[in-house]
Amino acid sequence: MNLFSNISRRTFLRNGTHALTLPFLASLLPAGSRTFAEQSLASVAPKRLLWMTMGHGHMEDHFYPTDTGQFSKISLPPGWDPLKKNLNHFTMISNFSNRENKQPHEGSEAVLTCANVVGFPGRARHNSISCDQIAAAQLGNKTRYQSLQLNCIREDADNGHGGIAISYRQDGSAMPGHDSPLEVYFKVFGGNVGKKELLETLKQRRSIFDILEFENSSTRRILGRADREKLEEYTTSIRDVELALSREESWLDVPYPKANLPKPPEDLQGEPEIQAMFKMIIAAWQTDATRVISYRMPDAGLLKSMGISSTPHTLSHYGSNASLHKLNLQRTKKWMQLYSGFIDRLRSSSDPLDPNGGTLFDNSLIYNGGGLRTGHRNTNVPCLITGGGFQGLTHGQHRAASKENTPLANLWTTMLQDAGVETNGFADADGTASSIWA
């Protein structure tokens, strides 16, 4: 049976032509040298990186253990009940803070940049490059996509923690992404569109690009300074589109992998959407479509699918309201249930590029948390890590940095270095997180 038999050419082209405006280096190899079979001959399995954030934090009594040490020897918070079967497969870290973020309602916007988005001289609002894009520039040269950004829908963004994206370019502009598992499915597996049609689509997109570039250069001469700065950000996006088009052309001769799972429905929301995205992350890694993924998870959508009418913003200001306490506990347990299920998927998914027969869990470094604690605080932010890619780390413990407000960027530095990215530090890092478990 043709998996794409119910997909019109128009639908595929619409979804398949969302440009991934990825930072791109000059190390593009000829397409034929990047075949999946050739990659699988590597003696060491590649590392995969994933950052997941659900925006607002959890109610302290439901999420934060009061003691450090092995999970089996300390008292665990009630929100962790769904996680108990996987206690040996993740680590919690306390005392990390997103110190440079001075905008308490924008935790998601700054979680991977560790930037003060309202503190750039001469700009009312600006960001900097996110750590996943640092990784993508070095780890993405052998994959079809340097990185994938999984975003949430606009409805989920307008709940007090800023934006649908968590990935940002060098110039601080937001990376485009995919808010639908179906879009990610098309990115990973392609569709019933031949090379000739793909070439024609790329030509059409290049024509649009040429028009935009011409209008940009023509308009620049009559603009004031502020408008020229805005146009420069737009120009950067256009340049990225051009690089993305070149990258897509270089991969035309590399066939998409055969789909090993049915395409997800088009209008998933909440828990079904998150479960489908988890499946697509596994698929993207098993097919080596990319090794770097960021996922801004739909917190408001999850609550709606649970039958809870309160927004994440409302729940974050719980105070002494007993009914909000109860809803917060339900929400935390649901997130922990989803997290535990994702760990199960990773541990049961073979890694085709591991010569030693390992799993995706063995070769991944995964963060799950957010840039805010409840009440819009950016201190001691939620921080769970899993995967076997962290060097020297034995999971199954609650660990704490020795100093309060240790830069969250220390963890990003460790994840980058352990994955093989050449960097001495990221953002405001003053060390690495690995010192906590050394």
Distance CA(329)–CA(80), nearest Å, equals: 10
Q: Phi first, then psi: what are they for 2, rounded to 5°?
A: -75, 120
Instruction: Please report, rounded to a whole number, the percentage of residues in the chain having pLDDT higher than 90.
Output: 58
Tell me, what's the pLDDT at 6?
A: 45
Distance CA(288)–CA(63), nearest Å, equals: 34
Model confidence at 408, pLDDT cuts 50, 70, 90, reads very high
* Torsion 21-25-31-34 (CA) sign: negative
Identify the helix (H) or strand (E) that includes residue 231.
helix 225-250
Residue type, 38: E
Cα of 344 vs its chain's centroid, Å? 19
| DSSP structural state of residue 396 | S
* Torsion 302-275-89-177 (CA) sign: negative
The encoded tokens of residue 370 equal 């957010």
Distance CA(99)–CA(380), nearest Å, equals: 10
Tell me, what's the pLDDT at 94?
A: 97
Tell me, what's the pLDDT at 235?
A: 61
Instruction: Pick 42-190+266-437's CATH classification: 3.60.110.10, 3.40.50.300, 3.40.630.30, 3.40.720.10.
Output: 3.40.720.10
CA end-to-end span of the chain: 52
The encoded tokens of residue 350 equal 């073979």
Place of tokens 């690495």: 432
Tell me, what's the pLDDT at 166?
A: 92
The encoded tokens of residue 393 equal 């780390």
Q: Tell me the pLDDT of the chain averaged across its residues.
A: 84
Dump pLDDT digits (tens) for 191-242: 766 666 666 666 666 655 565 555 555 555 555 655 655 556 656 666 676 6
Reported as half-sphere exposure (CB side, CA atoms, 13 A), residue 308 has a value of 25
Domain boundaries, the chain: 42-190+266-437
| DSSP structural state of residue 77 | -
Residue 376 region, left (φ>0) first, then alpha (ψ -120 to 50), else beta?
left
Lowest mean pLDDT among 36-40, 111-115, 137-141: 36-40
Q: Phi first, then psi: what are they for 162, rounded to 5°?
A: 85, 110
Greater model confidence, 239 or 120 = 120
Residue type, 416: L
* pLDDT surpasses 70 at 437: yes
* pLDDT surpasses 90 at 51: yes
Residue 180 region, left (φ>0) first, then alpha (ψ -120 to 50), else beta?
beta
Using alpha carbons only, give the angle 381, 386, 391 rounded to the nearest 5 degrees.
105
Tell me, what's the pLDDT at 27?
A: 33
CB atoms within 10 A of CB 134: 22
Model confidence at 365, pLDDT cuts 50, 70, 90, reads very high
Tell me, what's the pLDDT at 218?
A: 54
Greater model confidence, 135 or 208 = 135
The bridge status of strand 397-400 relative to strand 69-70 is antiparallel
The encoded tokens of residue 26 equal 């000059």
- Answer yes or no: are the C-beta atoms of 163 and 241 closer than 8 Å: no
The encoded tokens of residue 218 equal 């023509």
Distance CA(116)–CA(295), nearest Å, equals: 21
Dump pLDDT digits (tens) for 10-39: 443 444 433 333 332 323 333 433 444 444
Tell me, what's the pLDDT at 291?
A: 98
